[in-house]
């Protein structure tokens, strides 16, 4: 198949808003293409030049692309900006600005070959000249899609889950097997090859690429919690960041909920995890921890418990200082120590455990962590230098003794304590105990439930103190007044109604000046429409907002409005897809207004 056919197919997919039509056009293309080219197309349809599990990246930033398009088109900066304003993405600019060459029969396999060469090339200049040579043999339409793939966003309304649907259609394979293979492999291209060969069942887990996290649904009362299931296991809800640790052959990698690798931000956790006796994937929360405080994290008297964690969680604002850093200073390691509180296991002892009920996973997790406690400390074979891991020499109180858990001075990897709740009184007691330990509330989990990656079901429930907060996506911003003049401080935000974001409110306060300054920069770089004092922006920033109550209102598209909305915090750990939905808004409204 040629790059031109691929690009024309993309245009056709972009040309319809109907999901089923998109799937059927993509499916027909994948069926018609030779398997190897269909596999490449599946990657490109998902907006990526390489499979998720490989670490290869092109590292061709926006400014290089921009320069190349300017050179090849001979257009001025002002002319290109004009075109950019119309489309808002570099690929579309390339499509419109580049000269109309005749098709050279460029094949997907050659495009892929060039992408591999670009990834292997060192430095921006050789990378740019490889891409330049590729664009020089492309028609304007091909160039449009090559640039879109390079910049990682096709913008034809096709996300990876729809590509899975298209593969199912193309090869008449069961969708659940395709989803499972793609989850295990982290590779939509290989998934397609297996589907084409009717070998989906042979997919085996590949370590070191993040598996989607199981998510929780909010509940408003203890009674509501027990209406979903009987055998409830409860844990404190820690206010930290969700993390998935992959361990194999002494190598450790930790992934965040946004699928980014965050191992380097938490060097003190790595030696402990590397000591695990067998390969494993653990799910838990990284929490800033005060080892000196006396209150312990285990559930209160009378509740079952399987670990003793001394100290208590520090607020999320502390942990925030540790986020997004490539290198963590000694000072920060000491002032904001962290622990990894593990509450689930996805893979261990060569078995994928997601199909097993929580009660069995919990037992396996206990025994894996028990072995960890006994295991001799192991060196870690990681891309992280030994120095960045072992130069750390003290915990919260400056003690430097080493222990088998791998941390220097303190035990860093713990089983999150669990208890059983039989009645709503049990839950309320646990809730208050969790709050008194400085934690956000409770997680209530169905002991009979499997681990469902990426799904927010009713098997895990979260109970927080506030009546409710909403996670919302910023869609538009405005310049502030008074001391906020010149910065974008007023945010209009939205929630999901199906696939569409609908506005529900606007908030002015809650962020610090530093945060507002940083957000202003981001919004200016990601505006999609400039309306003078108001900018529409790419819907990527997630905020947690609190409010006093909720009203039916014509003012916003959602049909609801919030009374006294305020920003609780930025949620850089969440993606736009993770924001709340209109269903959730209706639930809150109903619970506030007596059903």
Q: Which one, 456 or 484, has the nearer CB to ligand AMP?
A: 456
35-45 helix and 19-32 helix, angle to the nearest 10 degrees? 150
User: Which residue's CB comes closest to ligand AMP?
Assistant: 242
Strands 560-563 and 241-248: unpaired
Supply the DSSP symbol for 79: H
Question: What's the CA gap between 421 and 446, in Å, rounded?
Answer: 11
Supply the DSSP symbol for 460: E
140-150 helix and 3-14 helix, angle to the nearest 10 degrees? 80
Q: Which one, 132 or 569, has the nearer CB to ligand AMP?
A: 569
Residue closest to 426 by CA, chosen among 234, 238, 298, 237: 234
Residues with Cβ within 8 Å of 258's Cβ and at least 6 positions away in sequence, in order, are: 572, 573, 574, 575
Q: Closest separation between CB of residue 45 and ligand AMP, Å?
A: 29
Dihedral angle over CA of 46, 48, 54, 56, nearest 10: 180
By CB under 6 A, is residue 569 in contact with ligand AMP?
no
How many Cβ atoms from other residues are within 10 Å of residue 520's Cβ? Answer: 18
Q: Closest separation between CB of residue 234 and ligand AMP, Å?
A: 9
Q: Closest separation between CB of residue 417 and ligand AMP, Å?
A: 9
According to CB under 6 A, which residues from 417 to 456 bind ligand AMP? 443
Candidates 238, 347, 547, 560; binder of ligand AMP (CB under 6 A) is 238
Candidates 29, 115, 145, 343; binder of ligand AMP (CB under 6 A) is 343
Question: What's the CA gap between 318 and 240, in Å, rounded?
Answer: 9
According to CB under 6 A, which residues from 375 to 404 bind ligand AMP? none
According to CB under 6 A, which residues from 35 to 54 bind ligand AMP? none
| Contact range with ligand AMP by CB under 6 A, out of 65-73, 233-241, 244-252, 485-493 | 233-241
Q: Closest separation between CB of residue 247 and ligand AMP, Å?
A: 19
Residues with Cβ within 8 Å of 203's Cβ and at least 6 positions away in sequence, in order, are: 180, 181, 184, 185, 190, 191, 194
Site string for ligand AMP, 282-321 (x = CB under 6 A): ---x------------------------------------
Q: Closest separation between CB of residue 368 and ligand AMP, Å?
A: 17
By CB under 6 A, is residue 416 in contact with ligand AMP?
yes
Q: Closest separation between CB of residue 443 and ligand AMP, Å?
A: 4
Q: Which one, 239 or 478, has the nearer CB to ligand AMP?
A: 239
Q: Spot the catalytic one: 237, 318, 445, 574.
A: 237
Q: Which one, 307 or 443, has the nearer CB to ligand AMP?
A: 443
| Contact range with ligand AMP by CB under 6 A, out of 153-161, 199-207, 237-245, 318-326 | 237-245
By CB under 6 A, is residue 580 in contact with ligand AMP?
no
Helix (H) or strand (E) holding 529: strand 527-531
| Contact range with ligand AMP by CB under 6 A, out of 21-29, 86-94, 234-242, 554-562 | 234-242
Is there a catalytic annotation at residue 237?
yes
Distances (CA, A) of 354 to 155, 191, 201, 228, 351: 33, 19, 16, 20, 9
Q: Which one, 242 or 412, has the nearer CB to ligand AMP?
A: 242
Candidates 127, 148, 180, 242; binder of ligand AMP (CB under 6 A) is 242
Residue 322 pairs in a beta bridge with none
By CB under 6 A, is residue 462 in contact with ligand AMP?
yes
Q: Assign 3-state DSSP to the chain and report helix, strand, coil percentages, each to 5.
A: 40, 25, 40
Kindly give the residue spans of alpha helices, DSSP state H, lying in 440-552.
513-525
Site string for ligand AMP, 209-228 (x = CB under 6 A): -------x------------
Strands 338-348 and 413-415: parallel
| Contact range with ligand AMP by CB under 6 A, out of 222-230, 235-243, 352-360, 406-414 | 235-243
How many Cβ atoms from other residues are within 10 Å of residue 401's Cβ? Answer: 10
| Contact range with ligand AMP by CB under 6 A, out of 95-103, 236-244, 262-270, 329-337 | 236-244
How many Cβ atoms from other residues are within 10 Å of residue 537's Cβ? Answer: 24
Torsions phi, psi of 222, nearest 5? -65, -35
Chain residues binding ligand AMP by CB under 6 A are: 216, 235, 237-238, 242, 285, 343, 416, 443, 462
| Catalytic positions, written as ranges | 237
């Amino acid at each position: 198949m040629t790059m031109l056919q691929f690009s024309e197919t993309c245009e056709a997919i972009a040309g319809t808003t109907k999901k089923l039509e998109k799937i059927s056009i993509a499916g027909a293309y994948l069926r018609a293409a030779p398997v190897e080219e269909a596999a490449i197309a599946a990657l490109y349809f998902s907006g990526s030049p390489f499979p998720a599990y490989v670490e290869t990246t092109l590292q061709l930033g926006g400014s290089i692309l921009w320069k190349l398009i300017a050179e090849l088109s001979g257009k001025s900066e002002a002319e290109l900006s004009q075109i950019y304003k119309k489309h808002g993405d570099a690929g579309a600019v390339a499509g419109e600005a580049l000269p109309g060459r005749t098709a050279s029969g460029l094949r997907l396999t050659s495009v892929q070959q060039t992408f591999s060469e670009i990834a292997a090339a060192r430095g921006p200049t050789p990378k740019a000249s490889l891409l330049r040579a590729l664009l020089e043999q492309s028609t304007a339409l091909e160039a449009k899609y090559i640039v879109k793939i390079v910049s990682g966003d096709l913008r034809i309304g096709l996300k990876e889950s729809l590509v899975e649907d298209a593969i199912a259609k193309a090869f008449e394979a069961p969708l659940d097997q395709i989803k499972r293979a793609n989850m295990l492999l982290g590779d939509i291209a290989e998934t397609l090859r297996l589907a084409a060969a009717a070998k989906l069942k042979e997919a085996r887990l590949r370590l070191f690429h993040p598996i989607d996290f199981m998510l929780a649904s909010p509940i408003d009362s203890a009674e509501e919690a027990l209406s979903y299931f009987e055998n409830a296991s409860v844990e404190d809800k820690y206010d930290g960041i969700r993390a998935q640790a992959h361990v194999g052959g002494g190598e450790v990698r930790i992934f965040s909920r946004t699928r980014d690798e965050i191992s380097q931000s938490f060097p003190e956790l790595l030696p402990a995890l590397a000591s695990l006796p067998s390969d494993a994937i653990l799910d838990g929360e990284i929490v800033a921890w005060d080892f000196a405080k006396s209150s312990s994290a285990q559930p209160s008297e009378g509740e079952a418990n399987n670990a003793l964690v001394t100290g208590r969680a520090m607020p999320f604002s502390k942990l925030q200082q540790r986020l997004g850093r490539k290198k963590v200073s000694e000072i920060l390691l000491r002032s904001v120590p962290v622990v990894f509180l593990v509450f689930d296991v996805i893979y261990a002892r060569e078995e994928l455990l997601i199909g097993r009920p929580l009660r069995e996973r919990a037992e396996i997790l206990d025994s894996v962590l028990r072995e960890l406690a006994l295991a001799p400390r192991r060196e870690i074979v990681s891309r992280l230098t030994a120095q960045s891991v072992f130069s750390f020499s003290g915990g919260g109180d400056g003690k430097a003794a080493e222990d088998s858990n791998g941390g220097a001075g303190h035990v860093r990897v713990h089983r999150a304590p669990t208890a059983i709740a039989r009645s709503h009184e049990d839950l309320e007691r646990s809730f208050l105990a969790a709050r008194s330990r400085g934690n956000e509330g409770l997680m209530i989990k169905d002991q009979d439930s499997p681990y469902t990656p990426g799904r927010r079901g009713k098997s895990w429930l979260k109970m927080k103190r506030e009546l409710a907060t909403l996670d919302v996506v910023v869609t538009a911003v405005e310049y502030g007044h008074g001391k906020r003049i010149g910065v974008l401080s007023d945010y209009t935000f939205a929630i999901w109604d199906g696939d569409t974001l609908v506005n529900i409110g606007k908030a002015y306060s809650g962020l610090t000046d530093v945060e507002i300054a940083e957000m202003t920069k981001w919004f200016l770089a990601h505006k999609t429409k400039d309306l003078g004092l108001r900018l529409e922006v790419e819907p990527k920033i997630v905020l947690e907002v609190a409010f006093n109550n909720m009203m039916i209102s014509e003012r916003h598209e959602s049909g609801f409005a919030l009374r006294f909305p305020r920003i609780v915090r930025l949620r850089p750990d969440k993606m736009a897809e993770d924001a709340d939905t209109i269903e959730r808004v209706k639930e809150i409204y109903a619970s506030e207004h007596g059903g």
